[in-house]
Chains A and B, each alone.
Chain A
Amino acid sequence: MNVPASDPKSVTGKPLVIDERVDVLVIGGGAAGLEAAIGAAARGFGVLLVDENPVPIRTMGDDVPLHFGQGMAANARNRNAMMEAFVASEPRIEEAFEAGIDVRLGTACWGLYANGASLGWMPGLVVGLADEERSLLVEAQHVIFACGRRDMGLGFPGWEKPGVMGATAALNLATRYGALGPQRVVVLGSSTEALTTALALRETGVAIVAIVEQAHGGVGDAALLANLRNGGTEILTGHVVRAAVGHDGVEAASVGPLDDTGHPVGEERTLACDGIVLAVGATPVIDLIDAGGCKVAFQPERGGYAPILDASQQTSIANVYAVGDCAGIWAAKTRDRAIAEAEAVRAVAALGAAATDVRTELPPAPEYDISAYRLAWVRASVVEARAEFHVCQCEEVTAREILEIRPPRYLDWRDERRNDRSLSALLGEGPPNPDQVKRLTRAGMGPCQGRRCREQVAALLALGAAQPLSAIPLASYRAPARPMPLSMTAHVPEAPEQAEHWDTWFGMHAQWVPFWEVPERYTVATNDATGPVASE
């Protein structure tokens, strides 16, 4: 019996063209990524290590991958200088070069593809990379994510002004690039993470004008707080920033006190500064991990949504690992890079090996309730704000518009026949889903890919539905995890069989026969599927 040919319009028989193949691909060249790459090379694996730093200035301008908030000093434009500064700031990069590792800086990863549910087309683990000129596909036997951390965005009137930036972005610019613009900053948040960042910034010469904390007491390590206070930093607990003040950028932060229930009360004060650093919630970078299909869950002891890992740091996808901050953030790990490096050592030990009996250092219980803490920040700073502002800066969506599920303003929708379609109308039996809300309001749908607003939107939905943050599903991440110009796709090869059979839709002849010509009976044998076809 003849085996029927496969559907020529399907992926079957259309090989994906792979540019390079490697044993181990490490994404991220921080402490954990370098340890993983150097360790894997020592075990004899061929290793490719990519790091997107130094990030091109235009990408930074879009707040990708971190909330840079236009806080780059002028020298950030000098790419060669930034490359030199970045390499010099981490001695182990040189060590990796010397170990024969293929180290590519300025190379971002934008996608991970693995066969699994609803996908059987991949030849193996496929990863998309891009430098400034071109995109390419790499097939790897093992992938180790070491993508680091980012910061929860937190809005207040004026938070779009240059100089309002994430703590991780500020720290990277200061310590890795030597290119931080603001030199007198107000830091929001007093967790050990926030205080550690503030002290590290102070080390580089930045004046820490004040620590602003909505809670009525510091939440992090008291010794770090005392250290800052002794250095002249004002500690303002029970306060929020009511506005960022300034014309072309931040010139001052207007701060005000909160009462016991978190409502702003009393007189505001102005603190002269040229930067406002958001350090209210460090969170693992899981964009590639989630978009690639690895299971993630809200894990407060790991700083929020983080991958589900086994004792060898392996994700739910075989041969895909996560190490360092992207695997989970906690205070001790932030203060001691040996913990992240130990994760890398465990992952490297598991490469190509049968399951080993390794002892895992589980994160300690969180030092504060991150769900309640982040919700309190959003309530005091965003919900209680004295004026409306855009929580989603890309699509210009306010908190009220998110909670009322308003159609976006580009529609200029004036039909007021129905105005009761707020969040409560969407709730039904389940918690509010940020993906549904973003499709209706467009919050989080812009070029920054939701990096500045996604945690705030989740918090707003949690507040609106009176649920804890952990009940709000993760707004899904999508490839490309870094925005990619169409022009950069032009040279990625495509199998000739795929090009030959490419069609708009399923390419089924019978589907598009006009209804007046449709035969009464359909069988495969009598269906004429020869000749050219174009779906409508």
Chain B
Amino acid sequence: MSEIKGASVVIVGGGVTGLSAGWWLARDGVDVLVIEKGMIGWEASGRNGGGCSHHHSPLFAEEQRLWPIMDELLGYPTEFSGGRIRLAASEHQMMLYGRALRNAERQGFASEVLDVQQAKAMVPLAGDTIVGGYHYKFGGHANPHRTLQGYAWAMQDHGGRLLQHTTVTGFRCEGGRVTAVETDRGPIGCDSLVLAAGPQTGRLSAMLGQEVPVQSARCEMIVTEPLPLMPLGGVDGCGLYGRQTLRGNLAYGGGPHEWLTMAEQGSPAKPTTPLMLHMGRRLAELLPKAAHARIIRSWAGVIENTPDGRPVIDRLDSQANVVVATLSSVGFGLSPASGHAIRDLVLDGTCSFAEISTFKLSRFAELEPNWRELQGWQVTAAAEALAA
């Protein structure tokens, strides 16, 4: 049995969203407890490209305000580095990538169109494989693992608590409110509950009478040995996302995903595939002067998406004191802002800094029950995943 009997706010899920929310709440002196079934950041939060440039999101302005000051706010290094360059291997890509420039401009952030010469001047590892690119004078990239650990430690510095290796098995409800979270280590009482459990958010919310529709998929990344630092590490494009880390490694991903059915218990397996080779070829196309660099690791993450790929950050109708949150496969960069939004919803009932009605669950009120099938999100590894 756990020694912990309860907390004012219990957060289920020790990923980047849950931990950021925990940190925001703890900063305000709230008695907060994050419950994690395994180790913090072991799922999608620890396996992503580290990008911080989400100009399509209502959280964009807050994301941009916060990242440059996160090291200071947390007291731990995030490796945030500002600015991004996106290179295009074809005119078609160049056209498609232009949306970022228009989105950002509308919100007051500047970008620059780069011709091949300018792009090559700014990106020493680039070559004649590109037709041009964009320089976003906003956004940037950070180190997911370090940031995640920073949230956890900073939350603890403010008195928040963390309970790892603890699985949620159910909820106790009374009078339209959740009063306790049932775990494999005993019940934990709460005044408010936040569900930020990544791929498990769908199943757990269904137990509360209002399912957040999500489906999980496996995605992959590769990383090379370190290379001399480029002046701006946040360079991607040519069908890849990623960055040169501050250590110098090239960490990139992209390409097809595989839809999965989640087992109810434990951490899903995260196998990689020979897709590594196809990512490697595109990375050599994006940065041909790095073609000699050797891939030293590949890895996979299991990531949830809602039917429209957009976040849910909302209070449940079925239980008044529950906030649900999934960032739908785009959660790391937005985490400083998503945690703030969750804090606001828990404490004040409404988001103080952005209009987030597009994150409401009610948009799925008329969603087809067989939406997974209709969207072709077929699972081929179902039996194995369930057996795991």
Contact = CB atoms under 8 A, between A and B. Distances in A.
A502 B257 contact: no
B308 interface: yes
Interface string A123-161: 000101000000101000000000000000000000000
Chain A, interface size category, equals 35 or more
Nearest to A512: B56
B296 A446 contact: yes
Interface string A506-530: 1010111111101111111101000
Nearest to A433: B39
Nearest to B259: A10
Interface stretch (B20-28, B111-119, B287-295): B287-295
A447 B249 CA distance: 10
Given A117-B388, A518-B358, A4 B292 contact: no
A118 B379 CA distance: 9
B293 A486 contact: yes
A149 B328 CA distance: 44
Interface stretch (B174-182, B344-352, B361-369): B361-369
B268 A118 contact: yes
A504 B254 contact: yes
Contacts of A515: 56-58, 358
B259 A118 contact: no
Interface stretch (A183-191, A250-258, A488-496): A488-496
B374 A524 contact: yes
Interface stretch (B91-99, B188-196, B335-343): B91-99
A46 interface: no
A447 B225 CA distance: 6
B106 to A, nearest CB: 8
A98 to B, nearest CB: 33
Contacts of A502: 239, 254-256, 278, 282
A14 B256 CA distance: 9
Q: For the side of the interface on B, what is the size category?
A: 35 or more
A483 B366 contact: no
A534 B100 CA distance: 11
Nearest to A477: B297
Given A12-B378, A425-B153, A449-B296, A479 B272 contact: yes
A335 interface: no
B55 interface: yes
Interface string B251-286: 000111111100100001111111011101111100
Contacts of A519: 363
A484 B381 contact: no
Nearest to A16: B274
B75 A415 contact: yes
A410 B244 CA distance: 14
A122 interface: yes
Nearest to A430: B165
Contacts of A407: 76-77, 146
B292 A518 contact: no
A449 B258 CA distance: 27
A95 to B, nearest CB: 33
A298 interface: no
Given A119-B258, A489-B278, A534-B93, A512 B99 contact: yes
A492 B258 contact: no
Contacts of A523: 366-368, 371
Contacts of B329: 505-506, 511
B203 interface: no
A55 to B, nearest CB: 15
B247 interface: yes
A408 to B, nearest CB: 7
Contacts of A479: 272, 276, 298
A502 B263 CA distance: 28
A445 B258 CA distance: 27
A11 interface: yes
Contacts of B293: 485-486
B246 interface: yes
Contact of A121 (B258, B296, B305): B258
B379 A120 contact: yes
B243 interface: no
A430 B185 CA distance: 14
B165 A483 contact: no
B247 A428 contact: no
B330 interface: yes
A513 to B, nearest CB: 7
5 contacts: A11-B258, A445-B297, A480-B298, A502-B254, A521-B365
Given A7-B259, A490-B281, 18 more contacts: A5-B376, A10-B258, A117-B385, A122-B273, A128-B277, A395-B247, A417-B75, A436-B39, A447-B225, A479-B272, A485-B291, A502-B282, A515-B58, A523-B367, A525-B374, A527-B308, A534-B96, A534-B97
Interface of A: 4-12, 14, 16, 111, 113, 115-122, 126, 128, 135, 137, 291, 293, 395, 407-408, 410-411, 413, 415, 417-418, 421, 425, 428-430, 433, 436, 439-440, 442, 445-447, 449, 478-480, 483-490, 492, 494, 498, 501-506, 508, 510-516, 518-525, 527, 532-536
